[in-house]
Amino acid sequence: MACVAAGFLLAGAATEPSAIAAKKRNKGSVKKEAFGKTKDGKAVEAYTLVNKNGLKARIITYGAMLTEMHVPDKDGLLGDVVLGHDNLENYLDGHPYFGVTTGRVANRIAKGKFILDGKEYTLALNNDPNHLHGGTEGIDKKVWSARVSRSKAGPAVAFSYTSPDGEEGYPGRLKMKVTYTLTDDDELQIEYLATTDKATPVNLTNHAYWNLAGKGTILDHVLQINADHYTPVDATGIPTGEILKVDDVMSFIKPTAIGARIDKITGEPGGYDHNYCLNKKESGKLSLAARVEESTSGRVLEIFTTEPGIQLYTGNFLDGTEVGKGGQKYEFRNALCLEAQHFPDSINHPQFPNTVLRQKQKYTQTTIHKFSVR
């Protein structure tokens, strides 16, 4: 177990100490460990970041994926608030995008087709009849390289992956860097950077499945989303192109239990799986997108982002077949995802904010997950 603490002290051997005790002991650390090998023999590593208050995030190089996020409850006890697996094999066997970095284009592209600068491109239809989350082998299934990066804000690791021209049907060689920082203000900050040598659509996000109680349904989690509008979808999850005002069922302007009206969204399987258009004073600037509160643990998660949208997905496809960390069965609606992003299928909807990245331009995104208790 090699320690690659870059300017940070080692976290210490104690397991799951109270956040307060940890605070007195250390200033944060980064620890690197082996996390198995892919089927074609590539070594995967896990990086564990611990901040000065004892919060802990674990990210692996396979999919630049957040596999663990330990945050205190109202009594100071740490608990893991993301779904995932204990070992690489279970991830390799297939999973519903737990904690991954998603792309090159997150969410759906209608019928896997788009026209860019007069040329038609065809992508994999891995979510019949559409393309989903970058295709059959998206960036969530690649081994990224990692580097401990120095940040005054707290322990940090930067993950890089270059997607070759034509990978999964996308044009251009896309260089991506995703930096996770666990700040001393108890924020998991994710910063994205991408450049290309040819015009190409880019829409990156993180697909963490949150459960602030650590188990059970999320129907009692109270959610607030700073959005007056959303993009309605057809039966296959593709935006119709309209931008509608949120109605009584869709609105999370006022803090509302997720389960309060969820059954009104019928369909197969029903429930929230929608992009919200965030209210922003200035586009591209960091602002509060969503807030989630869970009353038994007292845990609060606030998400700030530079992105124009956020996808709310309420774990509607979870059905108990996925057995995760510690043998926990992930049942229907046992987690929610809040994926900061550009709107789905933007490449086919010119009225949506632009997702085309061109040569010499930089794609950037910052999304912050701030943890607290009340």
Q: Are 81 and 212 in contact (CB under 8 A)?
A: yes
Q: How many CB atoms lie within 10 A of CB 242?
A: 12
Asked if 356 and 201 count as a contact pair (C-beta separation under 8 A), the reply is yes
Catalytic site residue from 68, 167, 339, 342: 339
339 is catalytic: yes
Question: Which positions from 332 through 351 interact with ligand GLA, judged by CB under 6 A?
Answer: 337
Does residue 69 contact residue 81 with C-beta atoms inside 8 Å?
A: yes
> Using the rule CB under 6 A, which residue among 12, 36, 96, 259 binds ligand GLA?
96
Q: Which one, 52 or 274, has the nearer CB to ligand GLA?
A: 274
- Of 132, 157, 212, 300, which lies in the binding site for ligand GLA, with binding defined by CB under 6 A? 132
Minimum CB separation of residue 136 from ligand GLA in Å reads: 14
Binding status of residue 272 toward ligand GLA by CB under 6 A? no
- Six token digits for residue 12: 């210490």
Task: Find the shortest distance in angstroms from Cβ 107 to ligand GLA.
Answer: 5
When the beta carbons of 97 and 252 are compared against ligand GLA, the nearer one is 97
Q: Nearest distance from residue 328's CB to ligand GLA, in Å?
A: 18
* Sign of the torsion formed by the C-alpha atoms of 303, 327, 91 and 1: positive
Residue 10 Cβ vs ligand GLA, minimum distance, rounded to whole Å: 37
Site string for ligand GLA, 279-318 (x = CB under 6 A): --------------------------------x-x---x-
How many residues make contact with ligand GLA (CB under 6 A)?
Answer: 10
Q: Is 237 in the site for ligand GLA (CB under 6 A)?
A: yes
Q: Give the 3-state secondary structure of residue 259.
A: helix
42 in contact with ligand GLA (CB under 6 A): no
Query: Which position among 53, 61, 107, 211 is part of the footprint of ligand GLA (CB under 6 A)?
Result: 107
Q: Give which of 165, 182, 183 is closest to 174, Cα–Cα.
A: 165
Q: Does 273 bind ligand GLA (CB under 6 A)?
A: yes
> Quick one: 132 or 340, whose CB is closer to ligand GLA?
132
What is the DSSP code (8-state) at residue 22? H
Minimum distance between the CB of residue 54 and ligand GLA, rounded to whole angstroms?
Answer: 30
* Residues 312, 301: Cα–Cα separation, whole Å: 14
Q: How many CA atoms lie within 13 A of 56 on its CB side?
A: 24
Q: Which CB atom, from 19 or from 337, has the smaller least distance to ligand GLA?
A: 337
Is 53 one of the binding residues for ligand GLA (CB under 6 A)?
no
Q: Which of 70, 85, 95, 207 is catalytic?
A: 207
Distance from C-alpha of 307 to C-alpha of 320, rounded to nearest angstrom: 32
Task: Give the length of the chain.
Answer: 374
Question: Contact 58/208 with Cβ under 8 angstroms?
Answer: no
Which of 265, 48, 19 has the alpha carbon at shortest distance from 146?
A: 48
Active site residue 207: yes
Scored b (16 or more CB within 10 A) or e, 184-211 reads bebbbbbbbbbbbebebbbbbbbbbbbb
Choose between 8 and 230: whose C-beta lies nearer to ligand GLA: 230
Extract the tokens encoding 175. Answer: 């260089």
Shortest Å, Cβ 234 to ligand GLA = 13
Whose Cβ is closer to ligand GLA: residue 36's or residue 96's?
96
Q: How far is the CB of 132 from ligand GLA (least distance, A)?
A: 6
Residue 253 has φ and ψ, to the nearest 5°, of: -60, -45
Residues near 276 by Cβ (< 8 Å), separated by ≥ 6? Answer: 225, 227, 229, 230, 246, 252, 309, 310, 311, 312
Considering the complex, state which of residue 86 and residue 319 has its C-beta at the smaller distance from ligand GLA: 319
- 320 counts as binding ligand GLA under rule CB under 6 A: no
Active-site residues, by number, are: 207, 339
The site for ligand GLA (CB under 6 A) is made up of: 96-97, 107, 132, 237, 273, 311, 313, 317, 337
